[in-house]
Structure 1
């Protein structure tokens, strides 16, 4: 195949992976719960052992993020995930309703296609591999070209671990020659039963237009509102820890901080004390000019980078020890570039008069590229939490960093690296995606109501139009004769 053009080689490889994956998935569909758990446990063990190697490889290849944080993500996608899904029923009878005499039985979806982003390459590959196998599915990965080495390595490790524990060969595969034609071919392959897409908006939309079931996610653009009753030092600490985690590569990370005028000076002072640098208007314009290309598409060279790298690229000077850059904005949209999603260590900063203005601004930011995803609020007022729970998002994260909160590291949400945005965000689910989304459920239903009794209501037999006219005429004649008899004329 070496004599063929790269794109043709890529397409042919994709077809071969899909055929092998489908054959393996058909075999895996016959495994029992004990066999599947043994396989998943071994995958988790191998992911844990290789977490550091994979993290270093991802940073080396992409330049995004921090090794120590990617290690944490790899462990969240394996060990923490397993603790969360260990008892999730995905095989055989998963529920029985004795009152209504219903039995629910889980069946696998089949062969999945996993689209993997460059921002979270190894953790997302580990995550999707484990939830796929937990639900008795195979999976073939289409990697982002800029992170193909790290994604391929993670997929190889997961495949080897699965096979070692008894899974069939080919159950997890990865395209080694990624290309757009190959991705499109894999989406259309008859062997693929469902697509799980994590990546840019264009790729996710493409997955949904492939003509088969898909689970996709949208962008974040998460607002973080520090309400007047908040514990300000703690709120700022949470936001900085969240935004600097892996240098902001997770889509659930904060994108804008909103504060009320009455606590503005305290919040600014606390940010500066904890490593925030407030850029002046000129510096903000320089940074924004470097952050975005072609409108508000982010410059890939500054995704997941430290403030120092960003400052150098923009030609501005910042103090030693800065952890995050903040730029004040007065509105949302094209004239206010920091109002868009920024998967790096830069935050927009807004000042409002009260919570009502914060409401309106939050909705504006969400509609500017984050609808359905997540919202963060720092407050001691539960009524305020419930007020903001009405906003158009599916994760309202309270008194926690939105990065760690959204992926389930600091909250009770399910650990996940695929965060649904619901129909508001163009997604088929609003959940943190897990193995329960990767099964079909069939139902055994016993008859519990007697529908054999005949109705006692009899419907008159309709007469043809001619018979109806004749009957009316006879009635009229009878009435006329009766009248004439009474008058003595007949």
Structure 2
């Protein structure tokens, strides 16, 4: 599909009745007011009708994933179109709907107590530039399944594509149940506007997926918050692991969408006895391996700033682009750059958001586990391990205490990609929910009936 065709599609969805856009507002008050009115209407629908709305959204979005992925890659300048397509398909196909709203019942001699999940109301949802559309779609489905309305706050680097997707969703809802502006977004997403939205009296909950700055604002809003914080996922590899499989899994996760995913492997900690064989297997999977000081310095100088931050101009760029920027020549196709280094290097301590992964050697498994724990920095986000030892798998899971922990697989399996379980793009580490689905975006309510409905 060429640029002109994409432009026509965008024009189609960004206009409604020729003049008024559905789902996009310049004023916080206007956005919240229309979402509140839509929520009141939506709350009258049955669960089956909610699911019909969700299925309509999926039907509308599926044919457009290629267009959305291309728009996101071009606007953000991060990642690649092919992997963004995979993320979008994952969000559309594997985000659970109303079936996720579990009911709990306790009965006894004194009667019955029922626990059910109800909506919050109008929710403010803040999204990152790394996964702007996959997160928006994933959270929209979950929030609507729970019975909420939502005002999306996209990252400034992804505002056009986020408005485009929101428009499509809003129109699909209107065409299905007659409710317009149940899902809306804003024309401006500065921090001042975001703060105004978070603290608006008609906002009942704030969901944040992004950096520490917006998370702090959310936590200070006085509202119910579901907050996804930073991560620095590490992969542990011991001498008992299937090293061919470990290399394939690590490269798949760490190179996916140029390593902008919060769950993707950001470092490797390998037991020394397995290091050389693992490195050879990594090379077979499209890895450019750096172990000399000259190339390490070149790569460090171009990717890490003088104030020990990451060079944002290279965020989400391909391994080939990064090597070229560093003045390192490579004639073979490269998916990932692996740098043999020490645990104090900035590549290890920073969440690079690039296909640049440090490899740190450890004398034995005990040292590897302690090193991985230190590298993860207590974010409790994601970790992976490759080992054939049940005892070590169990010990690592208990030690790391991460919200996502993957054993003998790619990090991507932790969000349902080629793995079991539902998909989530908001991993609420700070507020403790972990991988979030519809049930986490609903209030748990208790209803008790005395002296009845116990038939045991």
User: Quick check: TM above 0.5?
Assistant: yes
The 8 Å contact of residues 65 and 85 in structure 2, kept in 1 or not, is answered as yes
User: After superposition, what is the alpha-carbon deviation per residue over 1:303-337, rounded to whole angstroms, capped at 9, x for unaligned?
Assistant: 111111111222222332121111122223xx544
Task: Give how far 1:86 is off.
Answer: 5.2
Report the secondary structure of 2:27's partner residue: helix
Which residue number corresponds to residue 452 of structure 1? none
User: After superposition, what is the alpha-carbon deviation per residue over 1:354-376, rounded to whole angstroms, capped at 9, x for unaligned?
Assistant: 11101110111011xx6210110
Please say if 1:411 is aligned against 2:419.
yes
Please say if 1:328 is aligned against 2:331.
no
User: After superposition, what is the alpha-carbon deviation per residue over 1:113-143, rounded to whole angstroms, capped at 9, x for unaligned?
Assistant: 1111111111111111111111110001111
Alpha-carbon distance in 2 for matches of 1:167, 1:289: 56
TM normalised by structure 2 equals 0.89
Alpha-carbon distance in 2 for matches of 1:39, 1:175: 22
Which residue number corresponds to residue 394 of structure 1? 403
Written as runs of structure 1 = structure 2, the 5 A alignment for 1:87-236 is 87-89=99-101, 94-99=103-108, 101-166=112-177, 168-236=179-247
| Structure 2: tracts of 5 or more residues without a match | 1-23, 452-456
The 8 Å contact of residues 59 and 65 in structure 1, kept in 2 or not, is answered as yes
Query: Of 279, 304, 328, which aligns to 1:316?
Result: 328
Alpha-carbon distance in 2 for matches of 1:430, 1:107: 17
Moved more, 220-229 or 283-292: 283-292
Alpha-carbon distance in 2 for matches of 1:439, 1:432: 14
The 8 Å contact of residues 26 and 188 in structure 2, kept in 1 or not, is answered as no
Which residue number corresponds to residue 366 of structure 1? 376
Report the secondary structure of 2:235's partner residue: strand
Which residue number corresponds to residue 79 of structure 1? 93
Which residue number corresponds to residue 428 of structure 1? 431
Task: Give how far 1:12 is off.
Answer: 6.0
Q: How many residues align?
A: 425
Which residue number corresponds to residue 457 of structure 1? none
Alpha-carbon distance in 2 for matches of 1:51, 1:337: 33
Which residue number corresponds to residue 312 of structure 2? 300
Task: Give how far 1:105 is off.
Answer: 3.1
Alpha-carbon distance in 2 for matches of 1:439, 1:80: 19
The 8 Å contact of residues 25 and 111 in structure 1, kept in 2 or not, is answered as yes
The 8 Å contact of residues 125 and 151 in structure 2, kept in 1 or not, is answered as yes
Query: Of 66, 82, 94, which aligns to 1:68?
Result: 82
Alpha-carbon distance in 1 for matches of 2:389, 2:433: 26
User: After superposition, what is the alpha-carbon deviation per residue over 1:274-321, rounded to whole angstroms, capped at 9, x for unaligned?
Assistant: 221122222222222322336343222211111111112222223321
CA distance 1:405–1:227, shift in 2 (3 Å): same
CA distance 1:293–1:200, shift in 2 (3 Å): farther
The 8 Å contact of residues 329 and 336 in structure 1, kept in 2 or not, is answered as no
Query: Of 284, 288, 313, which aligns to 1:277?
Result: 288
Alpha-carbon distance in 1 for matches of 2:348, 2:387: 24
Alpha-carbon distance in 2 for matches of 1:301, 1:131: 33
Report the secondary structure of 1:165's partner residue: helix
Higher relative contact order (CA 8 A, sep 6+): 2
CA distance 1:161–1:232, shift in 2 (3 Å): same
CA distance 1:153–1:435, shift in 2 (3 Å): same
Alpha-carbon distance in 2 for matches of 1:387, 1:294: 38
Note the aligned Cα RMSD (angstroms): 1.9
Alpha-carbon distance in 2 for matches of 1:272, 1:151: 37
Which residue number corresponds to residue 352 of structure 2? 342
Please say if 1:290 is aligned against 2:302.
yes
| Structure 1: tracts of 5 or more residues without a match | 1-9, 422-426, 449-490
The 8 Å contact of residues 296 and 337 in structure 1, kept in 2 or not, is answered as no
Moved more, 267-276 or 234-243: 267-276
CA distance 1:11–1:285, shift in 2 (3 Å): farther
Task: Give how far 1:394 is off.
Answer: 2.4
Which residue number corresponds to residue 459 of structure 1? none
Alpha-carbon distance in 1 for matches of 2:50, 2:414: 28
Alpha-carbon distance in 1 for matches of 2:25, 2:56: 31
The 8 Å contact of residues 28 and 167 in structure 1, kept in 2 or not, is answered as no
The 8 Å contact of residues 69 and 81 in structure 2, kept in 1 or not, is answered as yes
